[in-house]
Every structure is written in structure tokens, then in C-alpha cells.
Structure 1
Amino acid sequence: MKERFPSEVEAMLREAGWYPGRSELPVELPNDYSIFPWARKALEEFGGLHVGSSGPGRDLARSNIQFEPDAAEGLAPHVSQTDDGLRLYPLGEIDNGHAHLLIDELGSVYYYFDELEKVGVTLDEALINLLLGMKAG
């Protein structure tokens, strides 16, 4: 059976307090977004965690992730949906608060700095890409 995460990523997640089956919602939710199932599932599993560190990665710089969705309070007027019209929900921040991390209604994950960039078709893929510094796609 294939492991969900590479061992290096799983170690970072466990060090931050994650464990398989984690299901709680220990974070404040932003008032200007409506939560949907993929966002709730992601925050129940990873909410409140601060994972990884910035630095050199495999293809580009690694990013740290802070799963604190209320950090996006006030972001909704600037980014609330994808170009395809899918609603977005903030998961937190990456790179020490330099960009926001968002998930769409189908489970794809993006970061927003100056524009919206997809970092994974799934949350697991996005975590691997961000934490190891790998190009999406």
C-alpha cells in the first residue's frame, strides 16, 4: 500500500502535532467566507498546525504553512473564487505570512500573493509540493 505522504513530509506533520485520523476544528474561522466540505475537512485535519520551514527545496524554495484561516480576514473582496467560478476558502498562510493558502470546492489548493496559483490538485499534493519545494503539476 502506498504511503499517503513521503516520510520527510510525514515527519514534519507529526512534529507539528498532526496524526492520522486527526479530526477537530481548533481554529477561528473568518467571517467573510462560507465554509464548504473540502475546507472543513482540511481544517479538521490540519487546523492550528504550523508545519515546516522556509529554505531551499527540490525545485524551488520550501514553504512553511500556518493553518490559521482567520489570518485571511478581509481577503474575500480580493480573492473569493477561481477563474472558473469555484468558491475558495482560506486555510492559512505560507512563507511566514507572505501568501495565503486557499482551497476550492473540489479540493484543489492555491496560494495567493499577487495572483492565484494552483499548488496541488489535492491538499496532500499541495502539502508535499510546498513543504519539499516542488513545482506543482
Structure 2
Amino acid sequence: MSPRFSPDVEQRLRRAGWFPGREVDTEAWRVPLEEEGFVFPDVVVRFLREFNDLYLVHDGRGVDVGRQPVEFDPTLAVGEVDRFEAWGADVGRTIAPLGELERGMFFLGMDETGEIYLVSNWAARYGVGDAGLERLLLGYRGEELPQ
């Protein structure tokens, strides 16, 4: 069986506190964000159960762009439900917040298929699930979505 993550990505995740089988509680953030209007598909809840509260530091050159800090904390998107709904409508999916990229310069989101997005006044996608996480953390440029 092949490893889940490349050695580089696994090392960055472990330095941030991740380990295989990690699970954190989701209720504390889910209830207030759902009351605000966010919808969290099951795949997003599973992702955040494993990665929420991790902060990955800037880590040098990436494949296309520098490896920017990533913080997995959906509460960082409080007050931004309209932005996530608008981009979700544009792609025909429900996009829920995951956290931030580049110290709050951009939001990160995920849809019900597991696709990971950069969300701002423009949007880009990185890929689905672990493959999307790899691309994000290795410094690939996301595929920009038409506005």
C-alpha cells in the first residue's frame, strides 16, 4: 500500500501536530457557524475532524508559488457566509470554510466532493481530498475559476 502523503507533506503535517488517526471535536465551531448559515457536508466535517486547529508555517519555495502559512480553523470565516455561498453558486456546489491561507489573505474551503478551494474576491481550486491538500501544501498554484 502506498503512503497517504508524500514524505514532504507528511513531515509538514506532523510538525503542525497531525498524526494518523487524529480526531478533534467539531461541535464547538459547527453549531455557531451553522447558525450563521454555513453548511458543512460530511466530507468537510471528516476533513476538519482530522486537520482542524493545525497551523502550518511558511516553508520556502514551492512548485509554482511559495509555500504559504495554512491555518485550519473554519471560525476564521465568521461573517463571510455570503462569499462562500456566492462562489458555491458559481461552481454549483456547497463550499464550507476550512481556514485561511497566507495569514488571512485568503480563505480556504471545501465542497461536498472534497474539492479544496482558495476563496477571496476570486477563487481557485486545488484538487480533491488528499491530492488537493498535497497540491496546496507543496506550493502548486490553484486552478483559477472564471469570475
For normalisation by structure 1, the TM-score amounts to 0.89
Corresponding residue of 2:49: 44
Residue 34 (structure 1) aligned to one of 39, 53, 74:
39
Provide structure 2 residue ranges, at least 5 long, that are not aligned to the other structure: none
Q: CA deviation at 1:116?
A: 1.6
Note if 1:123 corresponds to 2:129.
yes
Q: CA deviation at 1:55?
A: 3.6
- Give the helix-richer structure, 1 or 2: 2
Q: CA deviation at 1:136?
A: 4.7
Provide structure 1 residue ranges, at least 5 long, that are not aligned to the other structure: none
For normalisation by structure 2, the TM-score amounts to 0.83
Letter of the 2:138 partner, please give it.
L
* Count of matched residue pairs: 136
Note if 1:96 corresponds to 2:103.
yes
Identical aligned residues as a percent: 32
State the 4+ residue runs in structure 1 displaced beyond 4 angstroms.
none
Instruction: Provide the alpha-carbon RMSD of the alignment.
Output: 1.8
SS, match of residue 28 in structure 1 = helix
1:45 and 1:115, CA in 2 relative to 1: closer, same or farther beyond 3 A?
same
Residue 70 (structure 2) aligned to one of 65, 84, 107:
65
